Structure 1
Amino acid sequence: MHTLTATAASSLSLPAENYIYTIAPSAPGRFAAISSDDSLRIFDAANLDRVSVISRKTHGAGVTSLRSYAAGESQLLATGGREGKVKLWDARAGTAVAEMETPRNAPVLSVACNPETNTIAAGTELVSSQAVVAFWDIRSPQALRLQYVESHNDDITEVSKLFPMEYQIPNPWPKIIRTNLTRTDGLVNVYDTTITDEDEALVQVINHGSVHHAGFLSERTIYALSHDELFSVHPATDPDDPAQDPEPVHFDDVREPLGCEYVVQLCVGAQGPYLAAGNKIEKRLDLIPLVSRPAWQFDQENLWRLPGAHGDEVVRSVYLDEQSQSVFTCGEDGFVRAWRPADAGDDDAQAQAGSAKTSRPKDKKQKDRFKPY
């Protein structure tokens, strides 16, 4: 086991009693955060207290999702909101440069971006018996490019990356998108988005149950995590080989074997994926490597522990920053925290991290490099 020490913490100047939902990269050395006060803020990785507010009312009815839309030198961010809009923000100018509306103004719960194809996709709440996966070309944001409305019968909690699969012919429009659904449906669906007919576009269905997060570990491998912490890994099917029936790997409920109370998300770094698992009673967060050889398993001997985490509050989002060799977390205590490897003999630093409170701690510098990559 390895240890990370909290080196800095900031409330991002949020009003008291607010959560920070999600953090995402905005530009090299800068990050964006959305919060329960409906704000969109940018902070500096080297100084968390260096904060700029892009919008105090990002969506009015409430912001739900945040994704980076990194296109060349532009600093664009995509957000989704409960009023049924997806907005594209210029972080440098501090303004929304495009707005897209969902059918029937269905609240947006999840967003995905692919700047290479000028694509934004969103998953919505169930409205009038329909949950929609909607696609736009940002060059024509007023026109809905494509939508699927029949594959899910409850809220769509996440939309994954958009990319072509190895076995498919390259196409200007992204070929495959994965969406997943929570509650009664519990499905992870894979679509061929070059096909408008929804029945024909649906190339794979995974029934996982009450999906919290799902996504691609690689172009050929999909993971799924449920709200009751069931985890599984599934090979992607080849739509050109209908006889193929790949066997999934089911880990079942990971809370007891991993010694955690909840799972935040799965993070993918340069050296592979890590499951971010939290324990409020013990006030810690673990980054546990998920390895595929000799078989899919969790490498608990090489986990990275964040003692103290966000105290007895839930961690909501984790980002592995390879540029600064740091980990950034945010949570329901209303703080963003930065973490780096602890010195072997720095007991004071580890003790401070282990007793983290919701007060505003002073920044503490570390010189080690973060090396889980």
Structure 2
Amino acid sequence: MESLEETFKALAIARRTQPSEPTYILDVALQPAPCSAALVAVSCSNRSVRLHHRETLGLQGEFKGHTGPLCGVRFAHASPTLLYSGSADGTLRCWDTRCPGGAHATRVFRSDPAHVFCSFDVSSSDVVLCAGTEQVGEDSFLVFWDTRKPEGPLGVYSESHSDDITAVRFHPRVADRLASGGMDGLVNVFDVKQGGEEDALITTCNSGSSTGAICWAGVDGEQLLCLTHDEGLHLWDVRRPDSDDPLTLLCANDARSLITLPDASPLEYFVGGAWLEEAGQLLVVGGTRGGGLHLLDCSAQGVRVVRSLADGHSATVRCFAWEPEGGALLTGGEDGQLLQWRAGATELQGGGRRRDLLKSSSALQLKARTHRKHHSKRNNTQHTAGALNQTPG
């Protein structure tokens, strides 16, 4: 089993895409193997979804149809030719990547017209979709659909968050296990097969600040990483919610203070986290506003710098994905570039480093680094919520 140092020590830029218009790259997803197309999907601030070849980064197609800012892209697991995208326009859309281009999704998932989606995910079984909404009146909703029946939602949870639900993540292997995080600072874990919200809620952890990203971690997916909008970092053990053992493995309200960069400059923000199965370690990516990237190893013992990457991006990095099969790191950001980093690589295509910061009117960008604090519906770290509000079929 390779360590993070061995995996990342020789990373260098292999390829990059240069934007033809001022568009941020907001999210990136890798098509699961095996699939002959080997695609990378990115969501953009111009409300489009682009498909790139995983090896060459050549543009393979583009989907347009959303009328609001995008909140992510996800490939289906067992049917990797299907790609889902979510938007503040109140829809989740399913696209067939074998027919790239156009505005016609194969399926469109909607709920209440008042719902504005700001996060979503698809279960490991591909059967259930879940989207988190912005606050509507006094409530925020987790909305569920059966992917095989797009005509209407299965139901909603409405009692577990009191502000925008900014992160939704299904467990990578347990199809019925779901985590959600919100601007109320709460991170909830559900067993959705229980149906009713009160029965489904397993545990609640409180980060004390607005949730920016969550990630399942650990050998058996027994841990949860939470990164907040004000650069807090929390790592919890959620295996035994009824145990007397402490849930918190690592807690820092401003985790940047834990990190010393090689050049003694300050880390400015966190991009996100990913559990690397082959290394058995949790990768956290951070950066500086000028485009510098820093790969960090995170555990209960703390956070340490494994590798710093320079001369790639020229602005804030918004997303990343690690491809274990080919040993490649993909990064995208506010300079509009999609970069591919490989061990020992020499850049094969694309021009020099783009230094101008691309401007965008994306509403998602305006919200990305902000947070609000509201009085939570619950103050303790473990208890139950209200019943599931079933939507008529």
TM-score range, shorter chain: 0.7 to 0.9
Does 2:299 align with 1:285? no
Q: Is the 8 A contact 1:65 1:110 kept in 2?
A: yes
Distance 1:80 1:247, change over 3 A: closer
Instruction: Please give the alpha-carbon distance, in whole angstroms, between the structure 2 residues aligned to 1:253 and 1:245.
Output: 21
Offset of residue 320 of structure 1: 0.8
Is residue 96 of structure 1 aligned with residue 102 of structure 2? no
The Cα shift of 1:308 comes to 1.9
Report 1 or 2 for greater relative contact order, CA contacts < 8 Å, sequence distance ≥ 6.
2
Structure 2-normalised TM-score? 0.77
Q: Is the strand fraction higher in 1 or 2? A: 1
Counting matched residue pairs gives: 329
Letter in 2 for 1:22: D
Q: Is the 8 A contact 2:172 2:216 kept in 1?
A: no
Please give the per-residue CA displacement for 1:244-291, whole angstroms capped at 9, x wherever unaligned. 55344213312233241010001222212211010225x420111224
What is the CA–CA distance in structure 1 between the aligned matches of 2:238 and 2:210, rounded to whole Å? 20
8 Å Cα contact 1:318-1:330 kept in structure 2: yes
Is 2:49 the partner of 1:52?
A: no
What are the equivalent positions in structure 2 for 1:103-182 lying under 5 Å apart? 103-162=112-171, 174-182=175-183
1:136–1:146 CA contact under 8 A, matched in 2 = yes
Distance 1:130 1:317 in 2: 29
Amino acid across the alignment from 2:110? E
Which residue pairs with 1:309 in the alignment? Answer: 312
- Write the mapping of 1:1-373 to structure 2, written as runs, cut at 5 A: 2-11=9-18, 14-26=19-31, 28=35, 29-48=38-57, 50-56=58-64, 58-72=65-79, 74-94=80-100, 95-162=104-171, 174-182=175-183, 185-208=184-207, 209-218=209-218, 219-236=221-238, 238=240, 241=242, 245-258=246-259, 259-269=266-276, 270-271=278-279, 272-281=281-290, 283-291=291-299, 295-300=300-305, 303-311=306-314, 313-342=315-344, 356-358=353-355
245 and 307 in structure 1: CA distance in 2 versus 1, 3 angstrom threshold? closer
Divergent runs of 4+, >4 A: 242-245
Is the alpha carbon distance of 1:242 and 1:201 closer, same or farther for their aligned partners in structure 2, counting shifts above 3 Å?
farther
When residues 65 and 247 of structure 1 are mapped into structure 2, their CA distance, relative to the original with a 3 A threshold, is: closer
Q: CA deviation at 1:26?
A: 2.7
Measured after TM superposition, the shift of residue 163 of structure 1 is: 5.9
Structure 1 spans left out of the alignment, 5+ residues? 166-173, 360-373
> What SS is found at the alignment partner of 2:86?
strand
> Counterpart amino acid of 2:155?
L
Distance 1:160 1:249 in 2: 20
Rate the CA distance shift 1:117–1:21 in 2: closer, same or farther, 3 A.
Answer: closer
- In the alignment, residue 107 of structure 1 is paired with which amino acid? V
Secondary structure class of the residue paired with 1:194:
helix
Where does the alignment leave 5 or more consecutive residues of structure 2 unmatched? 260-265, 357-393
Asked whether the 8 Å contact 2:76–2:126 carries over to 1, the reply is no
CA distance in 2, matches of 1:159, 1:316: 17
Q: 1:362 corresponds to which residue?
A: none
8 Å CA contact 1:43–1:51 kept in 2: the answer is yes
Deviation, 1:357, is: 2.5
- Between the aligned partners of 1:195 and 1:247, the Cα distance in structure 2 is 26
CA distance in 2, matches of 1:247, 1:207: 10
More moved, 244-253 vs 194-203: 244-253
- Mapped to 2, the partners of 1:243 and 1:326 lie a distance apart of 41
Conserved? CA contact 1:267–1:318, under 8 Å? no
Which amino acid in 1 is paired with 2:302?
Answer: Q
**AA of the residue aligned to 1:288:** L
Q: Report the Cα distance in structure 1 between the residues aligned to 2:11 and 2:118, rounded to whole angstroms.
A: 32
Residue 123 of structure 1: how far off its partner (Å): 0.8
CA distance in structure 2 between the aligned counterparts of 1:207 and 1:310, rounded to whole angstroms: 33
- SS of 1:130's partner is coil
* AA partner of residue 310 (structure 2): P
Secondary structure of 1:143's aligned partner: coil
Identity %: 24
